[in-house]
Amino acid sequence: MNRPIETEIVNFCSAPRHIAIIMDGNRRWASRQGLPTPAGHRAGVDAVRLTLEACQTQGVEVLTLFAFSSENWGRPESEVRALMALMCHYLRREVQKLQRDNIRLRFVGRRDRLSPRLQRLMARSEKATRENTGATLVLAVDYGGRWDLTNAVRRLASAVASGNLEPDEINETHLDGALSLGDLPPPDLCIRTGGDTRISNFLLWQFAYTEFYFSNLLWPDFDQHALAAAVDDFRGRERRFGVRGVAGAGALKHSLDIPRGF
């Protein structure tokens, strides 16, 4: 008896639909330049602009940036204040450009620990750009993957308690939909700059089949050429999603970028 033909799920993407970036290296960049830490974060904002423009050129639909993690509250108070002030400055300056470029802005993460002024700016920015359809920029602020999963479980538990959902009905689709990015495609590619090779509590559920690209470039040095290199690397990978995987295909890869100034 002949065995049924197995179907291989292999996806060679011309470009990722959704890129997530862990922007690491601002403080080290400032130190190497002999500058105070806030200068590194300001340089990081310039890298955000370049990367967003490069994503538009590459046809990326969603760009998610890890702007401030739940753990970042543990940094020196002066640095946290500078980061929050920089975020307010960014929102006041950049929303009009996002409007012109037809880009929707969204935030994921806790908001109750942020200042009222920043919360108002975030809400105002989302409202002003919510009808834009060209692409989506997601900023993860006071975000943690464990918090996201815990919050999703609470939502499902509330639905069960109210009688709108039976416990044995809960499946992956329910959990996925209860997460912060449940209405967006999962990240195809995650880029981390700065040379470290960990995901630091970012999008834990969503990264199940994400391809990873680790760059030694510090975030302020990451530009459109660096993004193009990451996307080119992604194009060369086979995405089998666990079906008849070939040894080495789609495996975790490291880039060999050397930071400028080394």
Looking at the domain assignment, is residue 158 inside a domain? no
Give 31-53 pLDDT, tens digit per residue: 999 999 999 999 999 999 999 99
What string of H, E and C letters represents the secondary structure of the chain? CCCCCCCCCCECCCCCCEEEEECCCHHHHHHHCCCCHHHHHHHHHHHHHHHHHHHHHHCCCEEEEEEEEHHHHHCCHHHHHHHHHHHHHHHHHHHHHHHHCCEEEEEECCCCCCCHHHHHHHHHHHHHHCCCCCEEEEEEEEECHHHHHHHHHHHHHHHHHCCCCCHHHCCHHHHHHHCCCCCCCCCCEEEECCCCCCCCCCCCCCCCCCEEEECCCCHHHCCHHHHHHHHHHHHCCCECCCCCCCCCCCCCEECCCCCCCC
Looking at the domain assignment, is residue 49 inside a domain? yes
Q: How many domains are contained in the chain? A: 1
Looking at the domain assignment, is residue 5 inside a domain? no
- What is the pLDDT averaged over residues 97-120? 96
| Between residues 30 and 255, the one the model is more confident about | 30
Looking at the domain assignment, is residue 242 inside a domain? yes
Looking at the domain assignment, is residue 172 inside a domain? no
Catalytic residues: 24, 72
Q: Is the pLDDT of residue 262 over 50?
A: no
Give 45-97 pLDDT, tens digit per residue: 999 999 999 999 999 999 999 999 999 999 999 999 999 999 999 999 999 99
**Domain interval for residue 245:** 18-142+184-254
- What is the pLDDT averaged over residues 206-214? 96
| Between residues 156 and 245, the one the model is more confident about | 156
Residue 244 has a pLDDT of: 62
Looking at the domain assignment, is residue 171 inside a domain? no
Residue 260 has a pLDDT of: 34
Residue 79 has a pLDDT of: 93
CATH code, domain carrying 207: 3.40.1180.10
Looking at the domain assignment, is residue 169 inside a domain? no
Q: Is the pTM of the predicted complex or chain greater than 0.95? A: no
Looking at the domain assignment, is residue 101 inside a domain? yes
Residue 12 has a pLDDT of: 55
Residue 15 has a pLDDT of: 82
